[in-house]
Amino acid sequence: MCRPEFYSTATDFQVILKNVNYVLDGETGHETGHETDHDKSVAAKRIHLLQYCNVERSREEMQEFLGVSSRAHFKKAYLRPLLESGQLQMTLPDKPQSRNQKYVTVQGDSAE
């Protein structure tokens, strides 16, 4: 379920391995194996975002659609996971930092 996350830039490479055995419940401080309400909300918003991106959309349009003001949070919680899962693709994959970059939902067998 939790896949490694890979990020790279021209100068560095980062791998994030999730500890699937530990989840901190914000209210009680106890370990729990249950999905949090926040996780469910993010998952639901990702589905809505994929539906919204049936036509090419910019990052700004996508953020506004979801009501997410933080660019960093948007990239971490929504954009990167959808790109890495292959459900979303860049229109300019050779220029990921381009100001003209747009994103579109991958059609076909993207359901797991």
Longest dimension (CA), the chain: 46
Tell me what pLDDT residue 110 has.
Answer: 42
Tell me what pLDDT residue 40 has.
Answer: 80
Reply yes or no on whether the pLDDT at 112 is more than 50.
no
CA 112 – CA 94 distance, rounded (Å): 26
Reply yes or no on whether the pLDDT at 45 is more than 50.
yes
Q: Identify whether the C-beta of residue 104 lies closer than 8 Å to the C-beta of residue 59.
A: no
Tell me what pLDDT residue 53 has.
Answer: 94
Reply yes or no on whether the pLDDT at 33 is more than 60.
no
Tell me what pLDDT residue 35 has.
Answer: 62
Reply yes or no on whether the pLDDT at 57 is more than 50.
yes
SS3 54: coil
Tell me what pLDDT residue 94 has.
Answer: 94
